[in-house]
């Protein structure tokens, strides 16, 4: 386990080094001078402006994938931890990617002779509808609730690890596992907190990045923030759904197996516990698939920030997405 | 939207103070409206945070805004010009633009008239 911790700390150090290097390069590069014209902004200047937004998202995804592979390799090598390092891998990787996203500096703006600023305050929740932030928060709360519930109903195994469910009635008792009791639950709660915290930092980075210097790109500036916010929210929601689904699958299976084995009088599985376990076990894969789909959508959006932002601006005004403040 | 002219001899904090003050008096920034944080405005205008902080501080001293650590900067009530003043200003600006006057020339005409009254 300590090796996994060392690996994650090394990854955190890598985030620090990469962001410091990017900050240093950004400060050393001389600011270009571009004229601020009065007509519409050129396609090349819009492309240039969007390039950084896309690069930042792609670098973060690449980092998360590399971190996932490294942690996966390390966690497979662990024995005796009954899958705990494996369970933490995806959440820690997603958190690492989001942390890198939030720590990469904003690009040096080109000098135009004049700088413009909107007087509308930007908040992390300004670039999406309110429900898009409430849904992942509700999922996180429900997930922590599920972990606490499984923790409270868990029993220790022969090594004292709370990872079994035990049904007992007088002389009869049966147990089943792996069950997400305190043994898995507490680290998973910490991963949930890390995921939520890193997503909040990434959203804060999106809102605090200085606006594009050319006032003709105000709509484009809004669009890249909206798309990036959607990427972060979908990534976080997808990861949470994946965890909730995996946990539900394990918990449901263990409960159903324990209820099926608790067959004292030959009347079949203990009801309604068996039905509840079965239903939860079936819901698990559905949640996992939904989470994977959201992560796929987030990755797809991250790869196409540049074209999506420009494409959305080309649409007629009545088809354009909601403006800033929709969720404020 | 406010604009900072890097070539202007007017100090940046003064440009910020002046433009926000004008927007408040003209009623474009209404009572209670939130202003962006010092950090956001400084980032967008590519100036030091202290420059924006000084502009906000002077606006607060002038009674146009109120700042607090919890809620940030907000426009104070009753700072906009009265409706008749705004209408007169609009009429004057339309006349000045109709006569191709620059802003400085138009302000000069007001200054001159002000001294005579």
The partner residues of B3 in beta bridges, in order of sequence, read A116
pLDDT given at position A265 = 64
Q: Check whether A36 has a pLDDT greater than 60.
A: no
pLDDT category at A110 given cuts 50, 70, 90 is low
pLDDT given at position A79 = 67
Q: How far apart are the first and last CA of chain A?
A: 42
Q: B24: nearest CA in chain A?
A: A119
pLDDT single digits (tens) A136-168 = 999 999 999 999 999 999 999 888 899 999 988
With beta carbons under 8 A apart, name residues in chain A contacting B7.
Answer: 113
Q: Check whether A10 has a pLDDT greater than 50.
A: yes
pLDDT given at position A319 = 46
Q: Check whether A89 has a pLDDT greater than 60.
A: yes
Local structure of residue B7 (DSSP, 8 states) = T
Q: How many percent of chain A have pLDDT more than 70? A: 81
Alpha carbon distance A200, A232 (integer Å): 9
pLDDT single digits (tens) B23-82 = 998 888 989 999 999 999 999 998 999 999 999 999 999 999 999 988 899 999 888 888
pLDDT category at A269 given cuts 50, 70, 90 is confident
pLDDT given at position A112 = 66
pLDDT given at position A323 = 41
pLDDT category at A248 given cuts 50, 70, 90 is very high
Cis peptide before A144 (omega within 30 of 0): no
Alpha carbon distance A259, B91 (integer Å): 83
Report yes or no for ipTM above 0.85: no
Q: What is the dihedral of CA B98, B101, B106, B112, to 10 degrees?
A: -110
Q: Domain ranges for chain B, please list them.
A: 12-75, 83-116
Return the number of other C-beta atoms located less than 10 Å from residue A266's C-beta: 5
Sign of CA dihedral A289, A291, A296, A301: positive
Report for A1-5, A70-74, A247-251: range of highest mean pLDDT: A247-251
Q: Check whether A33 has a pLDDT greater than 50.
A: no
Return the number of other C-beta atoms located less than 10 Å from residue A221's C-beta: 23
B12-75 folds as: Arc Repressor Mutant, subunit A (1.10.10)
Q: Check whether A31 has a pLDDT greater than 50.
A: no
> A324 and chain B: CB distance < 8 Å anywhere?
no
The partner residues of B73 in beta bridges, in order of sequence, read B67
Alpha carbon distance A98, A59 (integer Å): 10
Mean pLDDT of chain A: 83
Looking up tokens 């509308």, which residue turns up?
Answer: A120
Question: Mean per-residue pLDDT for A70-92?
Answer: 83
pLDDT single digits (tens) B81-116 = 888 888 888 899 999 999 999 988 999 999 999 888
Cis peptide before A272 (omega within 30 of 0): yes
Interface test with B, best of A34, A107, A116, A117 (most B CBs within 10 A): A117
Local structure of residue B30 (DSSP, 8 states) = -
Alpha carbon distance A178, A165 (integer Å): 8
User: Do residue A118 and residue B36 have CB atoms under 8 angstroms apart?
Assistant: yes
pLDDT given at position A229 = 94
Query: Could you give the angle at the alpha carbon of B24 between the alpha carbons of B21 and B30, nearest 5°?
Result: 155
Q: A213: nearest CA in chain B?
A: B44
Alpha carbon distance B67, B76 (integer Å): 10
> A123 and chain B: CB distance < 8 Å anywhere?
no
pLDDT given at position A9 = 72
Interface test with B, best of A31, A119, A120, A123 (most B CBs within 10 A): A119
Chain B nearest CA to A164, separation (Å): 47
User: Do residue B4 and residue A211 have CB atoms under 8 angstroms apart?
Assistant: no
| Greater pLDDT, A195 or A214 | A195
pLDDT category at A326 given cuts 50, 70, 90 is very low
Q: Check whether A325 has a pLDDT greater than 50.
A: no
Chain A nearest CA to B38, separation (Å): 10
Q: Which of residues 93-122 of A touch B (CB under 8 A)?
A: 106, 109, 111, 113-122
With beta carbons under 8 A apart, name residues in chain A contacting B6.
Answer: 111, 113-115
Q: Check whether A60 has a pLDDT greater than 50.
A: yes
Interface test with A, best of B43, B51, B64, B67 (most A CBs within 10 A): B43
Q: Domain ranges for chain A, please list them.
A: 127-316
Residue A136 burial class via C-beta count within 10 angstroms: exposed 0-12, middle 13-18, buried 19 and up: buried
pLDDT given at position A310 = 75
């Amino acid at each position: 386990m300590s090796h996994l911790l060392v690996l994650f700390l090394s990854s955190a150090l890598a985030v620090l080094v990469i962001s410091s290097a990017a900050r240093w390069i950004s400060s050393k590069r001389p600011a270009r001078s571009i004229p601020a014209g009065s007509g519409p902004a050129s396609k090349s200047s819009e492309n240039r402006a969007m390039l950084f937004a896309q690069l930042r998202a792609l670098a973060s995804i690449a980092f998360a994938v590399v971190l996932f592979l490294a942690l996966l390799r390390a966690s497979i090598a662990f024995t005796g931890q009954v899958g705990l390092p494996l369970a933490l891998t995806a959440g820690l990787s997603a958190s690492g990617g989001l942390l890198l996203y939030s720590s990469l500096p904003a690009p040096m703006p080109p000098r135009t002779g004049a700088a413009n600023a909107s007087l509308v305050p930007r908040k992390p929740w300004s670039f999406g509808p309110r429900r898009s932030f409430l849904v992942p928060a509700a999922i996180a709360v429900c997930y922590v609730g599920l972990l606490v519930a499984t923790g409270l109903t868990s029993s220790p195994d022969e090594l004292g690890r709370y990872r079994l469910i035990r049904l007992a009635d007088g002389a009869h008792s049966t147990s089943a596992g792996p069950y997400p009791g305190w043994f898995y639950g507490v680290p998973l709660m910490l991963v949930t907190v890390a995921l939520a915290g890193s997503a909040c930092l990434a959203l804060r980075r999106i809102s605090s990045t200085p606006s594009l210097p050319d006032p003709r790109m105000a709509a484009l500036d809004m669009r890249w923030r909206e798309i990036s916010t959607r990427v972060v929210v979908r990534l976080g929601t997808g990861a949470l759904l994946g965890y909730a689904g995996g946990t539900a699958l394990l918990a449901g299976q263990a409960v159903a197996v324990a209820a099926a084995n608790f067959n004292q009088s030959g009347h079949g599985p203990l009801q309604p516990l068996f039905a509840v376990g079965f239903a939860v076990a079936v819901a698990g894969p559905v949640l996992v698939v939904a989470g994977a789909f959201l992560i796929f959508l987030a990755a797809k959006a991250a790869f196409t920030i540049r074209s999506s932002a420009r494409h959305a601006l080309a649409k007629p005004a009545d088809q354009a997405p909601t403006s800033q403040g929709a969720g404020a | 939207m406010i604009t900072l002219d890097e070539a202007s001899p007017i100090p940046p904090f003064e440009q910020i103070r002046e433009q926000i003050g004008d927007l408040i008096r003209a009623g474009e920034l209404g009572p209670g409206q939130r202003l962006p944080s010092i950090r956001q405005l400084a980032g967008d205008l590519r100036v030091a945070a202290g420059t924006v902080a000084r502009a906000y501080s002077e606006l607060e001293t002038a009674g146009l805004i109120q700042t607090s650590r919890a809620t940030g900067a907000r426009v104070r009530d009753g700072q906009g010009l009265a409706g008749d003043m705004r209408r007169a200003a609009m009429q004057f600006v339309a006349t000045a633009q109709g006569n191709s006057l620059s802003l400085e020339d138009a302000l000069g005409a007001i200054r001159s008239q002000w001294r005579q009254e």
